[in-house]
Each structure stands twice: as C-alpha cells, then as structure tokens.
Amino acid sequence: MSDTRVAPAPASGPAPDSAKAVAPAPKSNQVLRDIMGGSVVISILAVLLALVAGGILIAVTDEDVQTASGYFFSRPGDTFQAIWVAVSGAYGALFQGSVYNFGALDFAKGIKPLTDTLTFATPLIAAGLGVGLAFRAGMFNIGGQGQMLIAAAAAGWVGYSFPLPYGLHLILAVVAGIAGGAIWGGIVGLLKARTGAHEVIVTIMLNYVAVYLVSYMLRTPGLLQAPGSNNPKTPAMLPTAVYPDLLGSSYNLHAGLLVSIAATVFVWWLLSRSSLGFKFRAVGVNPNAARVAGINVKNSYITVMLLSGGLIGIAGVAQVLGTVTTGFSSGIDAGIGFDAITVALLGRSRPWGIFVAGILFGAFKAGGFAMQAGQGIPVDIVLVVQSLIVLFIAAPPLVRAVFRLPTPGVARKKKPVKLAKAVAAK
C-alpha cells in the first residue's frame, strides 16, 4: 500500500528545488507562502494524507465495498455509497470514541471519550517528552519499552509492598519509577559515553533484556508475583499509592495527567531556559563544535539519557498507578515506548508540540478501540495511520509535492496551485 503513496513524488518532486529565485515577490506573498509551506501546515496535511490512506485501506478491505464493486459498471453509485458508509462510519466512530459521543444521554456521558483520550495521552506525552529530549541532544532512544517496564516494576513494587500514608506513598512510588527508568536509560548513556556503543542497538537490546527480566520477576514468587497466584501478575496497588481520579470515579482520568503537564513545563524550561538544555541542544546540533566550545559531550550523553529514561519512567508510572491499578503483567508498556517515538517526531521534539501530538495519538488510541468495537475495523489501522503521519511529517518535500505547496524561503515563478484543487485531484 505504502508504495503508492510515494509514487507521485518523483514526478513532481523536483519542482520546488528547481525553482530558483527570479524576482522578489511582495512581502505579504512571501509570508503567506512561508506559512503554507511551514511546519504547522505540513503537519496538518500529513495527518490529512495519512487519514486518506487509512480511508482507502478501510474501503478496499470492506466487504460491502467489495460486493458493490463487483457490479461497478452497472451501478457505480452503489460502490461510492458503500465506500462512503465504510469510511465515514469508521472515522465517525473514531471521532465519537475520542472526542464527544453524540449518542450519549447527557453531556457528562458524552464527554467521556474526551477524558479517555486524555487518559491515553498521559503516558504518551511523558514518554514522547523523553524520546524528544534525547532527540534534541542527538540521541535516538528506542528503549522506551524497556525503560517503561523497569519503571513500572519499580513503581509497582513500591506501590503494593509498603503500606505508607497517603501522599507520601504516591510520591515515593512515582520517584521509584522515575529512578528505575532513569537507571535503565542511564546505562545507555554511560555505554555511549564510555565505549561509543551505538545507543540504538543498546536500547533495542535493553528492551528485550527488560522484557525477560520483568517476566522472570513476574512469575517468581517473592519478587513481583502476587502471593498465592500462579499468573505472571503483580498484586493490586495499595489505594494509598494510586493516582487520585481527577473527575470522580465515573471517569478514568487520573492525576498522572498533571504529572505529564508538569513534565512538559519542565522540559520546556530545561530546553529553552536552562544552561543544561542549551548544552544538550548544542551537542545535538554538532557534538564536535560543542566539544570545542568547552561542553563535556560525554557527560551530556549520560545526563540526557538519565533524564530521558526518567521521563519515560513517568509513563510507566502512569500505567501502573493510574491506568491499570489492579496489578500488571509484562504487557504493561502497551507499545507506548514505540508510540512515543512517533509522538516525539510528530511534535518535532518541541515540548508543546509533543504535548499536542500526545493528545492526538491518545485520541487515535481511544477512538481506535471504539472503532473496533462499533464498526468491526481492526484497531491496527491506527498503527498504519500513525506511522504514515510520521513518515509524511519527516519528509516535508513529499507533502509539498503532493499538495503543490511552495518551499519556504524559495521564491517561485508560477502561482501555487490552489489547495482545494490539489486535494480533489488526489
């Protein structure tokens, strides 16, 4: 499927590059074109493109569409009707499952999907921040899964083992989780700094090590396994260690969201207001130049991986103390470690961008399950749409070529083709 997305590119790809500045355009045009070709518009269009691709996939595999297309030439209207029903049904369910349920009796029930979205977004934001922070320092942290698992194990262990007073217990469990994630991430930074080991390989390998380590602990009595049980599962968290509900017990939204928001503010402050963040960014842009300027690059690698692991640890904590408080098994990371990469890419590694991207992907998750339950469309379509979004966002020239958008900073001879037309042509 995906190759067809790329196919139009070579035909129209060279256009923005070949167009060199000929005459200075009016200033207002320039501004408009910079906005049109800028990152925000590209991001929105990338989401749109991915949704279109997902829609095609849904339509092609829909049985009613297949039946109707069997007699396409006698009654083409039926095919389009079936496509419309399939795609609008799917995306309608996605929207109602993630933002507002119009079928609900009152506002309190109708708004529940939105709170679900925020619940799903909570770990995504934290983990996305971790990955994004590492990105800014030039490190690629694919180890979210492992860091989350270790963090979840640490927080969970504190969460169910020691009866402690309210407040203190929660804080201790959160700190334990963050420390667990930070250690697992710090190993990577340490190896990179001391031996030059490539962080991608080390993080991938540590993911597997963490999976097996945690599954071993989960099935061994006395470590993480619930006493008197044969299942590889921990006991339930003590109520003193659980994130309190934000909107009462009828909603799943928990205080982990506040932690994620605080983490976003912290990362924003770190990257744009602190000298440490400046060092990270300098190392990320050019490690050699940073070293010449007197920045200790190796220490930066270690510090940034500690912080990155700690942030991803917050996601693990949110899972065990907020979302699944009845005890967890080895699938507690729920693929968030990998989703976080896409979240960070979508947010372009900017803290608030990641925040928005996390909420978007949280919506996809919440809506995806509703879509599967309501329309029978496998939730995996969400994975396709998400990965396509990231692919398109990572390649702005491709999106510009598809929509005939101008390249920012490069003046063009011809007027850009109208956007609506390009969409229609697509």
Chain positions contacting another protein, by CB under 8 A: 1-3, 6, 9-10, 13, 57, 61, 140, 142, 191, 194-198, 200-202, 204-206, 208-209, 212-213, 215-216, 220, 338, 341-342, 345, 377-378, 380-384, 386-388, 390-391, 394-395, 397-398
Q: Which amino acid is at 221?
A: P
The runs of H, that is alpha helices, within 196-331 are: 199-218, 256-273, 275-285, 287-292, 297-318
Cβ at position 219, least distance to another protein in Å:
8
Q: Rounded distance, CA 177 to CA 216, Å? A: 19
Per DSSP, 245 falls in state B
**DSSP secondary structure string, 272-287?**
HHSHHHHHHHHHHH-H
Nearer to another protein, 300 or 342 (CB): 342
Nearest distance, CB of residue 56 and another protein, angstroms: 12
Six token digits for residue 352 = 């608030």
Q: Give me 406's structure tokens.
A: 């101008």
Select 137 or 206, whichever has its Cβ closest to another protein. Answer: 206
Q: State in angstroms the smallest separation of the CB of 9 from another protein.
A: 7
CB 295 within 8 A of CB 312: no
Q: With both helix axes pointing from N to C terminus, report the angle between 27-37 and 39-61 in degrees, rounded to the nearest 10.
A: 40
Closest separation between CB of residue 192 and another protein, Å?
9
Q: Which is nearer to another protein, 172 or 383 (CB)?
A: 383
Answer yes or no: are the C-beta atoms of 382 and 365 closer than 8 Å. yes
User: Which residue type sits at 261?
Assistant: I
Classify the C-alpha dihedral 341-347-349-351 as positive or negative.
negative
Alpha carbon distance 54, 295 (integer Å): 46
Nearer to another protein, 254 or 400 (CB): 400
CB of 15 to another protein, least distance (A): 14
- Scanning 99-248, the segments in alpha helix (DSSP H) are 107-110, 112-136, 144-161, 168-195, 199-218
Least Å from the CB of residue 334 to another protein: 14
CB of 220 to another protein, least distance (A): 8
Pick the closer one to another protein by CB: 316 or 396. 396
Q: How far is CA 422 from CA 46, 393, 400, 402, 426, in A?
A: 14, 18, 11, 8, 6
Cβ distance to another protein smaller for residue 32 or 383? 383
Q: How far is the CB of 58 from another protein (least distance, A)?
A: 9
Element (H, E) at 12: helix 8-12
Query: Residue 383: which of 359, 370, 396, 365 has the closest Cα?
Result: 365
Q: Quote the least distance from Cβ 22 to another protein, whole Å.
A: 22
Q: Which is nearer to another protein, 76 or 331 (CB)?
A: 331
Give 61 or 274: the residue with its C-beta nearer to another protein: 61
Structure-token pair, residue 284: 């990320």
Q: Of 394 and 425, which has the nearer Cβ to another protein? A: 394
How far apart are the C-alpha atoms of 116 and 122, rounded to whole Å?
A: 10
